[in-house]
């Protein structure tokens, strides 16, 4: 099985071209934990599959490092957009991907024939608890309280095609976010688990964040998470409509006006190509 290793701001993926339908979804999902394991496999935060789509230009399927399937991934979609352009699979600079989180529009920014950055229309955020989903009565969870390790935290819940729990903190320094992350991911309040973002506001136009990704753990970047942070910040009066989100792996530019789609812009990089001996996996 041939693959390409790519990353978006250090959030790394094994990309498999399955346009011809050679590999079954069950096989790929079963392979994901072993291929993503960093000592005995290729090593990645997730396995990303390119497939043929009828409602969109291409299809994208994502399996997390634990084998669970994700609805959407902002860093992965930028990687896949770069992949299809630079391999000549499209000559359009604006095209679409079918995902479990809906059909997403991408726009390429080119330098010569290379993709320098990708802008993604991430769709409209969902704030209703039934769409996230959250347990309990129907509501919008804005500045809601949750307890972890006897600490009472304030969170805002957002669905960006996948669920997010955004927690604003005075400072990222010293907080036990890698201990809180898995407990919040698996809290009964989130029936389908959740991604968790910890955010320090620099000013209305810039934040720092760290992320605990559902099914992957701590990663260097999360595109949908950056979008959720800006939505939560706008909804709670902390942030402006255009925000630079600084992640451990780099920065994303996020723009959101209430009632509109969220726009995300950032880079994607190809690292290497290889072949997997399936008998050894």
Label residue 69 exposed, middle or buried (CB < 10 Å: 0-12, 13-18, 19+).
Answer: middle
Concerning whether 39 is annotated as a catalytic residue, the answer is no
Host H or E run for residue 264: strand 263-266
For residue 259, what are its two tokens? 């009632």
Q: Using CA atoms, how far apart are residues 154 and 143, in angstroms rounded to an integer?
A: 5
Q: Using CA atoms, how far apart are residues 93 and 107, in angstroms rounded to an integer?
A: 6
Count of other CB atoms within 10 angstroms of residue 110: 12
Catalytic, out of 36, 165, 222, 227: 222
Count of other CB atoms within 10 angstroms of residue 170: 8
**Do the Cβ atoms of 181 and 214 come closer than 8 Å?**
no
Concerning whether 79 is annotated as a catalytic residue, the answer is no
Kindly report the backbone phi and psi dihedral angles of residue 173, in degrees, each rounded to the nearest multiple of 5, phi listed first: -65, 125
Q: Using CA atoms, how far apart are residues 30 and 57, in angstroms rounded to an integer?
A: 26
Catalytic, out of 73, 79, 165, 227: 73
Biggest alpha carbon–alpha carbon distance for the chain: 54
Label residue 2 exposed, middle or buried (CB < 10 Å: 0-12, 13-18, 19+).
Answer: exposed
**Do the Cβ atoms of 141 and 118 come closer than 8 Å?**
no
Torsion of CA 46, 105, 110, 262, to 10 degrees: -80
Count of other CB atoms within 10 angstroms of residue 142: 15
Active-site residue list? 73, 222
């Amino acid at each position: 099985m041939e693959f390409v290793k790519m990353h978006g701001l250090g959030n790394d993926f094994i990309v498999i071209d399955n346009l011809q339908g050679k590999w079954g979804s069950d096989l790929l999902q079963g392979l994901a934990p072993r291929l993503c394991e960093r000592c005995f496999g290729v090593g990645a935060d997730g396995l990303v599959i390119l497939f043929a789509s009828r409602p969109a230009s291409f299809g994208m399927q994502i399996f997390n490092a634990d084998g669970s399937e994700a609805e959407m991934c902002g860093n992965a979609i930028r990687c896949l957009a770069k992949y299809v352009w630079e391999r000549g699979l499209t000559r359009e600079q604006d095209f679409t991907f079918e995902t479990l989180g809906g059909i997403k529009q991408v726009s390429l920014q080119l330098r010569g024939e290379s993709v320098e950055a990708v802008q993604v229309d991430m769709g409209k955020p969902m704030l209703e608890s039934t769409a996230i989903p959250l347990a309990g009565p129907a509501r919008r969870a804005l500045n809601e309280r949750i307890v972890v390790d006897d600490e009472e935290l304030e969170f805002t819940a957002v669905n960006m095609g996948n669920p997010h729990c955004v927690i604003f903190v005075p400072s990222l320094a010293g907080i036990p976010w890698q201990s809180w992350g898995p407990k919040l991911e698996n809290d009964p309040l989130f029936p389908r688990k959740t991604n968790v973002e910890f955010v320090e506001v620099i000013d209305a136009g810039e934040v720092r964040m760290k992320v605990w990704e559902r099914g992957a753990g701590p990663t260097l970047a999360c595109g949908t998470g950056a979008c959720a942070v800006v939505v939560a910040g706008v909804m709670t009066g902390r942030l402006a409509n255009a925000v630079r989100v600084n992640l451990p792996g780099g920065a994303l530019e996020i723009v959101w006006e209430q009632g509109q789609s969220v726009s995300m812009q950032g880079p994607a990089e190809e690292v290497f190509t290889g072949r997997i001996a399936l008998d050894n996996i």
